[in-house]
Amino acid sequence: MGEFSRSSSQDHTSLREAREAFHSADQAADDPGDRRVRNWLRVSWLRSRAAKVDVDRPSAGYVEPLPVDTVLTRAARPVLSALSAEIENEPVSLILTDAKGTVLSRYGGDRGLLTALDRVDLAPGFRYAESQVGTNGIGTALEVGAPLLIRGDEHYSGHLRLFSCAGALVTHPITGTLLGVVDLTTKTENTNSLLLSFAKLAATRIRERILEEANELDRALLHDYHAACQHSGRPVIAVGDEVLMMNAQTQQQFDSRDQAAIIDRTRDARGRAEPFTMLADLPSGITARLSYQPTFVEDRLAGGVVRIKEQLARTRSPRAAKQPALRALAGRSAQWQHTVHGVVEACRRREWLVLDGEPGVGKTALIRAAHEHVRSDRGLAVLDAAAVDGGELLEQASATLEGGSDLAVLHAHALGDDDLAGLGQLLQTVTPDTLPDDPWVALTMQPPQEESDTHSLLRLFPKTLSVPPLRHHLEDVPELVRFLLDAAGATDLTLSPAAANQLMRLSWQGNVTHLRSVLEETCRRRRSGTVEIGDLPAECRATTRRNLTRLESLERDAIVDALALHGGDKAAAAKALGMSRATIYRKIREFGITL
Which CATH code fits 233-313?
3.30.450
Residue 5 in this model has a pLDDT that exceeds 60:
no
Of 78, 68, 66, 65, nearest in space to 210 by CA: 78
558-564 long-range Cβ contacts below 8 angstroms, 24+ apart: 559/584, 559/587, 559/588, 559/591, 559/593, 560/593, 563/593, 563/595, 564/534
Q: Which fold has domain 472-591?
A: Helicase, Ruva Protein; domain 3 (1.10.8)
Residue 317 in this model has a pLDDT that exceeds 60:
no
Q: CA–CA separation, 141 vs 76, rounded Å? A: 18
Q: How confident is the model at residue 240 (pLDDT cuts 50, 70, 90)?
A: confident
pLDDT number for residue 222: 86
pLDDT digit string (tens) for 131-187? Answer: 999 999 999 999 999 999 999 989 998 889 999 999 999 998 877 789 999 999 999
Q: CA–CA separation, 255 vs 48, rounded Å? A: 56
Residues 424 and 460: beta-carbon distance below 8 Å: yes
Which CATH code fits 318-468?
3.40.50.300
Domain 13-212 top-level CATH class: alpha beta
pLDDT number for residue 66: 64
Residue 390 in this model has a pLDDT that exceeds 90:
no
Q: State how far Cα 509 lies from the chain centre.
A: 9
pLDDT digit string (tens) for 536-553? Answer: 888 888 776 666 776 777
Lowest mean pLDDT among 21-25, 466-470, 564-568: 21-25
Residue 10 in this model has a pLDDT that exceeds 90:
no
Identity of the highest mean pLDDT range in 15-24, 243-252, 317-326: 243-252
Query: Where in the chain are the domains?
Result: 13-212, 233-313, 318-468, 472-591
Assess whether the region 13-212 and the region 233-313 belong to the same CATH fold: yes
Q: Read off the pTM.
A: 0.58
Q: How confident is the model at residue 593 (pLDDT cuts 50, 70, 90)?
A: confident
Which phi and psi (to 5°) does residue 303 adopt?
140, -145
Percent of the residues in the chain that have a pLDDT greater than 70, as a whole number: 89
Q: How confident is the model at residue 436 (pLDDT cuts 50, 70, 90)?
A: low
Mean pLDDT of the chain: 84
pLDDT digit string (tens) for 414-435? Answer: 888 888 889 988 988 875 455 5
pLDDT number for residue 451: 47
